[in-house]
Each structure stands twice: as structure tokens, then as C-alpha cells.
Structure 1
Amino acid sequence: MRPPLPTLGPPPKKSPLGPVLVISLFLGLVAGGVWWWKNRSVSEQPEVTAAAQAPEAPGATDAVAAAPPSTGTPAPASPSPTPGSAAPTVVATPEPSGVSHVTVRIEGPLETALVAAAGASVGPALAQVVTRTLVWWVDVPGDLRRGDTLDVLYETRPNEEPLVHAVRFASGKTGQTHRAYRFQASGEKSPRYYQPGGEELELRLEHSPLDDYEQVTSLLRDGRKHKGVDFKTAVGTPVKAPFTGIVKRKNWGFRFNGNCIELEEVGGKHRRALFLHMDELPRSLKVGDRIAAGALVGRSGNSGRSFAPHLHYQLEAQNDRVLDPYESHRTYRRSLPSAQRATFEAEVRRQDALFGTTVVAGAGN
């Protein structure tokens, strides 16, 4: 006979905790399912735009920004004005022809105003192109005043800088409203900018190294701290000696200067002329050669650190002081022939119509 098993005490009582946990888990799953269903229903409803939630108050027109033709990058919001200063007026509207019209009231840096109006993808380049116009009226940025107003007609182009068709600028410095219009005169290779009376906007240099070029793209007084004048011109344009001189250097610092020549003046003011980014120079040209005023030095190019075909023309005194060619040379402006005035005036009226009814007020108004 087997001995009885040892007794370990009475059987334990069943705890009610297990059923409670099961019931709580079940209720939690049910509640989660209900929450998920409700949020799914809400997410499928159409989104309500900010404009529908908060309509614009009547008369709120201090700062208006409309983007130019879509470039794929949204324009940033206009910066808030500093306390005590007026909000910058910013208007940009695309025209049916593909030309956009931007209006800004300058309250700080020119680029900031144009970025706010035209967008971050266009504004910086547009500021550079517009500056090439403004520098013939005022120094940039030194002569820009708070409250100056600027109208620009421009066109965006893939992989190129904006093309400016017309500029209207009310300057507090000069007290005038200046205007310039892009127009291609009959017989000219390239369009140029003209003032309303038919005079070219840009000054020309007597005894210039170039007889023909499209535009001056950089000056000593344009705020870029550039040491020379850049002439936008096609590769192969003849470059002439501005004075009789001796070739002192040839093709130095090629990485930056490209094909280049330094010409030292014989007699006179003993100036030095530097021509950079030229096309390949003839092998027959040697250091020590004498070149007469007006004789061919070489041809313009796009060599060295150059991002587009142009000629860099730089003048220096014997003590290495950089000279402004527009102060060292005599200057003049050409005017349109009378036979082309009617065509030009029609173009002025057409571009003025694209400006619309925007009133360009003087500074402080």
C-alpha cells in the first residue's frame, strides 16, 4: 500500500484579477477602434484653406505680393518692417505677354525688396540686372534712399539671367523719376537701353577698347568692389589699344585672368591698361611690342574665371592705384537717328502701358 501524498495545505483561492484584465483589454480595443474610425472620417474631408478661415480685411493693402510666372519655387513672405518704419510696398504681376511687372518701395537693401516681390529664385539675379541700369543715375547702394520707388518690366528665361525690358525709378537723391527702355535700333547688332528722349542710357568712352558691345555689366561704382569695367560682348569682338603703349605682360594668372595683356602707356599719363578674359592671343604678340593707339590688341573672349563672354578693361596709375575709365576717358552719349524716333516712341508707349496705373511717388511720399 502506497503512503499517502504529503498534504501542502488547502487549495489556493482563485484571484479575480485575470478576468478584470481581460475585460479592460477588450474595452480598450473597442475604444481604440472607435477613435480610429472617427479620425479616418475627418481626414477624408476636404482641407479648408487659410483664406477661407480668415478672409482679408477690407482696405488691407499696405503690402501686396503676387508671384511672377511659376518657377517651381514659392516666393517667400515679405519681411516685417522694423518698428517705426513704413511697410514696403511690393507688387508683382505677370502680363499676358510673359513679361512680369514688379513694383517695390525701397525700405532697405534693394535685393531684399526684389526677392520679396519676385521670389527667391528670381530676385537676386533681378537685383543685379536692375543695378546695371540704376548706376547711370545714382551710386548703388550709397545713393538709394528709404522711400525710393522702383518699377521693373522683366522676363524670366531658363538658365539665363532675367531680361529687363524697362525700368522706372523715383530717386530721393536726385528728386527725379528716371526711365529707361530696351530697344533695338535698326542697323544695331544688339538692343540697348534708351532714355525717353532717345539718348542711350549708358555713357560711351572716347578711345574705347571696343567699338561695339551689348552692355556694360559692371562699373567701379556699382558696389561690387570690381576694379574694372566689364563689357558684355560676343567672343571675337576686336579689342583696340586706348593709347600708344608697350606690352608689359601677357597671359599671367591664367586661371583667373585667362588670355590677358597689360599695356603700358608711352608718354602722357603713363597709365597701364589691362585686358582680361580675351580669346587666344596671336603668337606673334610678344612682351616689349609697341602698339599704336587704336590698333588691334586682340579679340574678346570668355577665358579664365569668366561666366559669360565679356571684356574686362582695367586702368591703373603707375603707383598701382585703380582708375575709373569713366573718369579717365572723355565720355559721350549717342542718340537715336530722327528716322527711328517714331518707332522708339511707340515702343515707349507700349511699355508704359505694361507699367499700368502704378504711381511712382518721390521719396518720403
Structure 2
Amino acid sequence: MGVLNPIRDLSDPPKRSFRTVLMGFLLGLGVGGFGGFFLGRTLPAEEPPAAAAVAAAEPAIAADGGSMDGEGPGEAADAGAEAAKDPLADRAIRLDIEIHGSLTASLATRMGSREADTLAAQVSRILVWWFDLRRDLLPGDRLQLLYEPVAGPGEFRVLALLFSSESRGITRRAYYFKSKDSAYGRYFDEQGQEIEKRLENSPIQEYEQITELMDASGRRHRGVDFKADVGTPIQAPFRAVVVRTNWQTRGNGNCLELRYLSSGVSALFLHLDEVLPEIRPGKVVEAGTPVARSGNTGRSTAPHLHYELHGPTGRLLNPFEFHPTVRRALEGDEREEFLRLRQRLDQSLSAGVN
């Protein structure tokens, strides 16, 4: 498949603008007419904003590895196959920054503050599985990104990420990959292992991404947020009794509390679209029983499930410490497909970088 041609390398110096062209025109009139006017007109114009159009940086590579440049329609037909257009080639944006201050502040040196804030959130959801972002990002650390705009105002998807810290000798890579049989794409390391951990006995099987973890103290965020479409099934992770439903709905939205019978741990499920009608206080449900559907109710800004655990004494528990966890590894044809994609992403990520 083809090398991705980034939309624009945000590390490049800006091209000369229309103001430069106009100055050249006026200078030309003042010092001798047409020669100066022609010089002003031939200065390159400013490129469009990064998310607006594609700059074809390198020749596209056909699926068989050969260059598509100079191949006429007859030759393509004679070859017996039509080279497929890479759907990512028209959207990818490359960015190479050095960390100074926060991640958001570092990104804001290359883009508007709103875009930097949004992209920093996306990047943080990957880096958080490796680092404590409040203390582990050091001045001089380097971040290389390949990302694309997606549906929604100012939204982005990171396609590939390379983080390196020369002072600590650390390098981390992440690649976005969606197999044909998966509902959502995931981030994998260079070997094809998921970067996010998954909960075993999870309350939700199909979700796009974990968008927020519980912090160490629980002061800023008391549980785990799973980004999922409204209506995604929620199930009881363990055999449990229903404690209550739909309390403090202004903040919690539709909600459910279960108490796990084997451990005495209480589990809260917040911002639900609905609690299923048969799930009533006092009912005992077996592990895997559908109990609710995820939603976007209460104090919520996007569809997700908030999952929160409390021990028998009321102490807040981290779901990633209470549940066993696993990281999925790609295998067989799926892994081969991923490795081909990784090669393309690496080529585009490093293009033009010294």
C-alpha cells in the first residue's frame, strides 16, 4: 500500500504570503516596472491551513511496491491490477515537536490553542499507559505525530506516534489499527500488542477507547471512562445484587449500583442511556447478565460509561487494580496486515525529518 503523503509538515518554516507578493509588486513599480512586478508575482503563495488540503510530499507507492508515477492507464491495465488510492494519504498531518512545559503548551507553539488542547487530549490517552504526564515529560523530549482530522469540530485521530527521551534513553511507538472484524480501531506498539490494558470481567465489551483513568488519589477522577456509542450493552462483571438505580440523576444521569457478592465491592455505572427494566433493587444477577445500556446523560459531555468501585468500607478502588488485566496481541493475517500498515506509517512519520 502507498506511502502516506502528509497534508502538511507543521515543522516546516512558513512559505511567503500574499503580503510578500504585494510588496514585490509595489517595489517593481517603483524601481523600474515590469521586471520587479514579475519578481513579485512569482514568489510562492502561502499554503492553506493544515487541515484544509493535501501537499503531495513524495510519489505514491503502488500496492506492489512500485512507483505509480509515469504509469499510463494502458500500462496499469496490462499489469492486471489497478493501484488502489490510499484513503489516508489525503488527510495525514505530520508534526515534530520538542517538549518544553506541558504537552498542550508544546503543541500550541505549532497550532492554535483550541486545536492544541484537543490534540493533547488525544495524545495523552496514549502516553498515559507509559508515563505520569505530570512529572515524566522532560524539557527536550521529542514527540513525532502523524494525525488526521475526523468528524466533529476540531477533532483529530492520532495515526502514529513516536516519543523519545534522549536524557532517559526511552523510545515509545504507537500505531492506530482497525481490523476488518473490529468495531473500533486500537493503538498497538511496534510488535502488534495493544497499548491499552483491558479489564477481564469488564462491564463493557465493545468500546472505542478508555478516555480517562482514575488518578492515584481519586480527587480529580474517581473511576474509569469508556468511550462508547449510546446504547452499547453493559453487563454485570461478577455475580451481584442490585443496590439502587437512578439517584442524583442531575450529575449521575441514569445510573446503577451493584454489590459484588464474592467481594462486597460496590460498583457504580453512571451516565447510562437506560437501566434495563428488569434490573430492580434486591435482584441478584449472574456474571455477564445485561443490566444497562451506555449513554450520555447527567453531567456528561460525550457518550461514555463511567465505572467506579468502592470497597466494603467505602474506600475508593482502582478498577485496573481490582480486575485482572490483559493486553491483546495481534496474530496471523491480522498481524501481517498491521505490520504492512506500520511500515507505511513509519515512512510517513519520518519523511522530511532529519
Normalised by the size of structure 1, how large is the TM-score?
Answer: 0.69
Partner of 1:258: 253
1:334-345 superposed matches below 5 A: 334-345=328-339
Matched residue SS, 2:117: helix
Q: 2:273 aligns with which of 273, 276, 279?
A: 279
Change (3 A) 1:262 1:171: farther
Matched, 1:294 2:288: yes
Change (3 A) 1:173 1:234: farther
| Cα distance in 2, alignment partners of residues 122 and 184 from structure 1 | 25
| Cα distance in 2, alignment partners of residues 224 and 354 from structure 1 | 40
1:23-62 superposed matches below 5 A: 47=23
Matched, 1:113 2:94: no
Q: 1:309 aligns with which of 303, 307, 328?
A: 303
Change (3 A) 1:177 1:246: same
| Cα distance in 2, alignment partners of residues 224 and 148 from structure 1 | 29
Q: 1:356 aligns with which of 346, 350, 353?
A: 350
Q: Cα offset for 1:160?
A: 5.0
Deviation string, structure 1 residues 49-82 (Cα, Å, up to 9, x no partner): 9xxxxxxxxxxxxxxxx995167xxxxxxxxxxx
| Cα distance in 2, alignment partners of residues 304 and 295 from structure 1 | 24
Partner of 1:328: 322
Q: Cα offset for 1:48?
A: 7.4
Partner of 1:151: 144
Normalised by the size of structure 2, how large is the TM-score?
Answer: 0.71
Q: Cα offset for 1:101?
A: 1.2
Q: Cα offset for 1:239?
A: 0.9
Matched, 1:241 2:254: no
Which letter does structure 2 place at the counterpart of 1:100?
Answer: I
| Cα distance in 1, alignment partners of residues 49 and 169 from structure 2 | 30
Partner of 1:69: 50
Q: Cα offset for 1:359?
A: 6.3
Q: 1:347 aligns with which of 337, 341, 351?
A: 341
Partner of 1:140: 133
| Cα distance in 2, alignment partners of residues 258 and 173 from structure 1 | 46
Change (3 A) 1:136 1:247: same
| Cα distance in 2, alignment partners of residues 175 and 295 from structure 1 | 47
Matched residue SS, 2:109: helix
| Cα distance in 2, alignment partners of residues 226 and 358 from structure 1 | 40
| Cα distance in 2, alignment partners of residues 234 and 174 from structure 1 | 39
Deviation larger for 214-223 or 321-330: 214-223
Q: How many residues align structurally?
A: 276
Cα contact 2:51–2:149 (8 A) shared by 1: no
| Cα distance in 1, alignment partners of residues 127 and 279 from structure 2 | 39
Which letter does structure 2 place at the counterpart of 1:253?
Answer: Q
Q: Cα offset for 1:128?
A: 0.6
Mark the structure with the bigger radius of gyration.
Answer: 1
Matched, 1:104 2:126: no
Partner of 2:220: 225
Matched residue SS, 2:231: coil
Q: Cα offset for 1:174?
A: 6.3
Q: Cα offset for 1:104?
A: 1.4
| Cα distance in 2, alignment partners of residues 326 and 169 from structure 1 | 24
| Cα distance in 2, alignment partners of residues 164 and 236 from structure 1 | 26
Q: Cα offset for 1:209?
A: 0.6
Q: 5+ unaligned residues in a row in structure 2: which ranges?
A: 1-21, 26-46, 53-87
Q: 2:164 aligns with which of 170, 173, 191?
A: 170
| Cα distance in 2, alignment partners of residues 192 and 105 from structure 1 | 26
Deviation string, structure 1 residues 151-195 (Cα, Å, up to 9, x no partner): 111122442521111111114686321111111113111111111
Which letter does structure 1 place at the counterpart of 2:50?
Answer: P
Deviation string, structure 1 residues 227-286 (Cα, Å, up to 9, x no partner): 111111122221111222222221111112111001112232x21111011122233322
| Cα distance in 1, alignment partners of residues 48 and 133 from structure 2 | 26
Matched residue SS, 1:122: helix
Moved over 3 A (4+): 46-49, 171-175, 221-224, 357-360
Cα contact 2:215–2:222 (8 A) shared by 1: no
| Cα distance in 2, alignment partners of residues 67 and 220 from structure 1 | 40
Q: Cα offset for 1:106?
A: 1.0
Q: Cα offset for 1:343?
A: 1.6
| Cα distance in 1, alignment partners of residues 337 and 213 from structure 2 | 31
Q: 5+ unaligned residues in a row in structure 1: which ranges?
A: 1-45, 50-65, 72-94, 361-365
| Cα distance in 2, alignment partners of residues 139 and 237 from structure 1 | 30
Which letter does structure 2 place at the counterpart of 1:347?
Answer: L
Q: 1:187 aligns with which of 158, 177, 181?
A: 181
State the identity %. Answer: 41
User: What is the RMSD of the two structures over their aligned residues, measured on CA atoms?
Assistant: 2.7
| Cα distance in 2, alignment partners of residues 265 and 172 from structure 1 | 46
